[in-house]
């Protein structure tokens, strides 16, 4: 098989320039990348369980192209290299050619596929044009999981040093740095932020609350995307307001040993995925907590939910997403939301990592319908939603900002515009960042916020300011 990059270069009569990546790569590989790629792939096949899957996909992939029309990237570009099946096939061809007898025998006849430097360049580019949203998998009659293959391709690339620097630097700080979190927030800064949030909540709600830090034996140990402590105070205050109103203030804690739910390992490395999960479970064990309570973040929720049971060993704990907790409180009558505060039109964006599997689809909608007068859904929605365009870690890579805006997020922007919504709820740190940029790029007439930002406006706190009083205060301040 000949890749697009190779073909284009041949057409131009030039050899593909090696070491070209669409993102910044720190200490990229020099010399024989082909040999190193195959060595890394061999090691992955040796120590993991991907072989049966690859063997099955190699033999039976139907190449029906249904994945193409379900991929928001292909729908925008129409380019063959953005067909999920095409991308998957590159890795399958490498597997077949170099790791199966049939592939070796085929290579003895005619001009068969060869892994070249140009193919490596193509993989490094193509595998980071996928947002790993896994929408295509739903429409594949065979169920070929292109998201899993994309991740595997990225994993092998990362083992030869090809990985966006933005992801690598974050993971390095999380696993080897002093702060153990992706945003390099020191423990002292976390404590100061929590004190600031306490003061803000006192001003806003009229209640005195001290955030629980390193409290042992609590039911919930809270992890959010650590960037929320810096950039999304209203989401965190919304979380805190629910815990307080529900009478669960003494049932949760934030640990200072580890307070970052972000796990970029989910996007490109089994090694890092496992190490980060172990940091989370170690913190819960240290505090003798009972459950992990994950804030508004899609990939943090999915990685914890899916991989704490896999990698936790003896330290396995239940994982609860904050929206599940809030809905439980609402259903039990532990919290009350004023239905007269939010009058704007609101829509909800499903983060792929929690909705694609069907895990969290109706819960946030049930919460929103309880207090939002004008809620509209996007089409399609839920398990069939479109990715925001920043999934799979792409949102953290600034160098591909234009791709995220013009290609990855175009379909989502059109979807949002069609709803006519004033507010887009996106309960995910990554989706929120991407959608805020999309709103600015496409000049969409709406705001993007987390679910608990909106809840913070409408939640009734017994013995404190009413939502109406808070709203009037905010309007006065805005004047």
Partner 1 sequence: MEKMIELARGPFFAFSIGVMLLGLLRLVFLQVYGLARGKGGRLRNAPWRKILGEAATWAFPFPHFIKGTRLFSSASFIFHIGVIVVPLLLDDHVVLWERLLGANLPSIGRGVADVLTLTTLVCLLALLAFRMFSARHRAVSQPMDYWLLVLIILPFGSGFMAAHPAWNPFSWNVVMLTHLLSAEFLFLLVPTTKLAHVVLFAFDRISEIHWQLRPGAGARIAEALFGSGAKV
Sites of contact with partner 1 (CB under 8 A)? 1, 39-40, 43-44, 46-53, 55-57, 59-66, 68-70, 78, 80, 83, 85-86, 89, 102, 137-139, 141-145, 148, 159, 168, 171-172, 175-176, 269-275, 306-307, 309-311, 313, 357-358
By beta-carbon proximity to partner 1, the closer residue of 152 and 394 is 152
Residue 102 main-chain phi, psi, to 5 deg? -60, -40
Q: Pick between residue 158 and residue 326 the one whose CB is nearest to partner 1.
A: 158
Closest approach of Cβ 320 to partner 1, in Å? 17
Q: How far is the CB of 71 from partner 1 (least distance, A)?
A: 11
- Output the smallest distance, CB 144 to partner 1, in A: 6
Nearer Cβ to partner 1 (163/204): 163
In whole angstroms, the minimum distance from the beta carbon of 44 to partner 1 comes to: 6
**Of 438, 385, 381, residue with least CA distance to 409:** 438
Q: Is 31 exposed, middle or buried (0-12, 13-18, 19+ CB in 10 A)?
A: exposed
Q: Nearer Cβ to partner 1, position 274 or 422?
A: 274
Q: What is the largest CA-CA distance in the chain?
A: 81
Q: Which residue has the tokens 């600034």?
A: 398
Pick the closer one to partner 1 by CB: 176 or 178.
176
The tokens of 141 are what? 């009659």
Q: How far is the CB of 110 from partner 1 (least distance, A)?
A: 11
Nearest residue (CB) to partner 1, 80 versus 247? 80
User: What is the distance between the alpha carbons of residues 154 and 131, in angstroms, rounded to a whole number?
Assistant: 12
**Residue 10 tokens, joined:** 């041949």
Q: Which is nearer to partner 1, 1 or 370 (CB)?
A: 1
Q: How far apart are CA 295 and CA 340, in angstroms?
A: 26
Q: Collapsing DSSP states into helix, strand and coil, what is residue 419?
A: helix
The CB-of-79 to partner 1 minimum distance in angstroms stands at 9
C-alpha 163/C-alpha 26 separation (Å) is 8
Distance CA 103, CA 113 (A): 9
Report in angstroms how near the CB of residue 52 gets to partner 1 at its nearest. 3
Q: Which of 341, 339, 359, 340 shows the shortest CA–CA distance to 350?
A: 359
Phi, psi of 366, rounded to the nearest 5 degrees: -65, -40
What is the Cα–Cα distance from 56 to 64, expressed in whole angstroms? 16
Residue corresponding to tokens 């089409």:
379
38/337 with CB nearer partner 1: 38
* Chain centre distance of CA 40: 26
Tell the smallest beta-carbon distance from residue 179 to partner 1 (Å).
14
């Amino acid at each position: 098989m000949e890749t697009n990059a190779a073909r284009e270069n041949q057409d131009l009569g030039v050899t593909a320039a090696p070491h070209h990546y669409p993102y910044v790569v720190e200490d990229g590989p020099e010399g024989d990348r082909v040999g190193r790629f195959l060595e890394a792939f061999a090691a992955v096949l040796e120590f993991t369980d991907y072989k049966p899957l690859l063997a099955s996909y190699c033999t039976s992939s139907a190449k029906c192209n249904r994945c193409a029309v379900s991929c928001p990237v292909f729908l925008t570009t129409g380019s063959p290299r953005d067909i999920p099946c095409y991308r998957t096939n590159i890795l399958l061809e490498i597997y077949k050619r170099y790791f199966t007898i049939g592939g070796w025998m085929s290579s003895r006849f005619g001009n068969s596929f060869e892994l070249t430097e140009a193919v490596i360049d193509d993989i490094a580019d193509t595998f980071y044009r996928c947002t790993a949203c896994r929408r295509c998998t739903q429409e594949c009659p065979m169920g070929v999981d292109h998201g899993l293959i994309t991740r595997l391709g990225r994993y092998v690339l990362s083992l030869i040093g090809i990985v966006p620097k933005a992801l690598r630097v974050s993971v390095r700080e999380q696993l080897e740095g002093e702060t153990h979190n992706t945003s390099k927030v020191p423990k002292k800064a976390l404590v100061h932020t929590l004190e600031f949030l306490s003061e803000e909540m006192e001003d806003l709600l009229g209640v005195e609350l001290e955030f629980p830090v390193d409290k042992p034996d609590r039911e919930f140990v809270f992890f959010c995307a650590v960037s929320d402590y810096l950039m999304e105070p209203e989401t965190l205050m919304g979380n805190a307001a629910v815990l307080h109103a529900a009478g669960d203030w003494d049932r949760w804690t934030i640990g200072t040993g580890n307070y970052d739910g972000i796990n970029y390992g989910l996007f490109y490395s089994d090694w890092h995925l496992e190490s980060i999960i172990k940091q989370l479970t170690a913190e819960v064990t240290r505090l003798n907590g009972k459950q992990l309570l994950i804030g508004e973040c899609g990939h943090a929720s999915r990685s914890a939910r899916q991989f704490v049971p896999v990698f936790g060993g003896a330290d396995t704990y239940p994982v609860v997403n904050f929206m599940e907790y809030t809905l439980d409180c609402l259903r039990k009558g532990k919290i009350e939301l004023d239905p007269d505060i939010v009058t704007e039109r609101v829509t909800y964006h499903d983060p792929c990592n929690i909705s694609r599997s069907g895990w969290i689809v109706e819960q946030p909608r049930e919460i929103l319908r309880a207090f939002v007068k004008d809620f509209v859904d996007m089409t399609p929605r839920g398990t069939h939603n479109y990715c925001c365009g920043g999934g799979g870690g792409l949102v953290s890579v600034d160098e591909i900002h234009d791709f995220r805006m013009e290609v990855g997020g175009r379909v989502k922007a059109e979807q949002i515009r069609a709803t006519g919504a004033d507010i887009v709820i996106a309960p995910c740190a990554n989706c929120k960042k991407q959608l805020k940029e999309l709103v600015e790029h496409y000049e969409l007439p709406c705001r993007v916020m987390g679910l608990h930002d909106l809840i913070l406006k409408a939640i009734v706190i017994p013995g404190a300011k009413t939502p109406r009083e808070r709203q009037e205060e905010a309007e006065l301040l805005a004047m």
